[in-house]
C-alpha cells in the first residue's frame, strides 16, 4: 500500500519541498525586516 502511494505520488515531493522552502524564506525575511524596524525605532528614540 505505502509503496503504491509513493510510486503514484513521488513527484509531489518537489512542489511540497518548494513550498516549505518558500515559507522558510518568508519567515527569514520577516525576521530580518523586524530587526531593521527595531533598530530604526531604537535610533529614533535616542534622538
- State pLDDT tens for residues 22-40: 999 999 999 999 999 999 9
Identify the sign of the CA torsion 12, 8, 1, 3. negative
Cα–Cα separations (whole angstroms), residue 29 to 13, 18, 23, 35, 40: 24, 16, 10, 10, 17
Whole-structure pTM over 0.75, yes or no?
no
8-20 per-position pLDDT tens digit: 999 999 999 999 9
Identify the sign of the CA torsion 35, 38, 39, 40. positive
Identify the sign of the CA torsion 25, 27, 30, 34. negative
Please state the length of the chain. Answer: 47
> What pLDDT does 13 receive?
95
Amino acid at each position: 500500500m505505502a509503496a503504491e502511494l509513493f510510486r503514484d505520488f513521488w513527484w509531489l515531493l518537489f512542489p511540497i519541498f518548494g513550498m516549505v522552502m518558500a515559507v522558510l524564506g518568508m519567515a527569514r525575511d520577516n525576521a530580518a525586516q523586524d530587526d531593521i524596524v527595531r533598530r530604526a525605532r531604537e535610533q529614533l528614540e535616542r534622538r
